[in-house]
Structure 1
């Protein structure tokens, strides 16, 4: 039994599929950062191109947990890329982008300080 209502005043990921997401009514075909405050482009097009700076940017939203969506399948990045988050005690969970989108909606609806960094690979398009 649930004792607290879901929040309806947060940004939600409304739909997703291979290579796209709909966030707050807008379709995105590029990597994005989603937080309860809004959605922003995330300037990465391939897992191999990620740098520590990509993850340091996530600190701006002061998350308690970061969900990293690694693309169409589950892939992990080197721990050194996550150092800025881990040193501040921010939890990082890695999953495929669609699973991260679903998990983000659940945590955001609970009022958690969650940020989803969702990789949509566009290399070769």
Structure 2
């Protein structure tokens, strides 16, 4: 019986801190979408109040089954109208602070799930 997990080729969040995340060791200093299929898409927002439906429409275009939304340093839920395109495509959305979203994304991606982390990295300046 095999006891080791299979290796996944999904990108892994290898670190995070105020205003940054590292994906496979590469430091990223702006909000980003990280998808288990290898995509890293800039997500142009530096604060929750800068988000709009268009930000979530980008996620609806991905071939995923769940979005892990990291809402910054504290939990702030997206407006229902923002996530309507995701719901229409039967894509689940889980909201948590960005640090928790990084950990949750890693677990789901390593399990082979089609997942994207939408990570809001708030400006530290």
- Report the Cα offset of residue 29 of structure 1: 1.4
1:3–1:61 Cα change, 3 Å: farther
Matched residue, 2:54:
53
Q: Report the number of matched residues.
A: 123
Instruction: Output one character per residue of 1:8-41: Cα deviation in whole Å (capped at 9) or x when no partner.
Output: 3110000111221111221111101001223221
Matched residue, 2:98:
97
Matched residue, 2:9:
9
> Is the CA contact (8 Å cut-off) linking 1:7 and 1:108 kept in structure 2?
no
Give the RMSD, CA atoms, in angstroms: 1.7
Matched residue, 1:23:
23
User: d(CA) in 1 for partners of 2:96 and 2:6?
Assistant: 23
Extract unaligned runs of 5+ from structure 2: none
Q: Which moved more, 1:82-91 or 1:6-15?
A: 6-15
1:71–1:80 Cα change, 3 Å: same
4+ residue runs over 6 A deviation = none
User: d(CA) in 2 for partners of 1:114 and 1:3?
Assistant: 24
Matched residue, 2:74:
73
Instruction: Output one character per residue of 1:38-85: Cα deviation in whole Å (capped at 9) or x when no partner.
Output: 322111111111111100101232110000000011111211111100
- Report the Cα offset of residue 7 of structure 1: 3.1
User: d(CA) in 2 for partners of 1:66 and 1:113?
Assistant: 9
User: d(CA) in 2 for partners of 1:108 and 1:96?
Assistant: 18
Extract unaligned runs of 5+ from structure 1: none
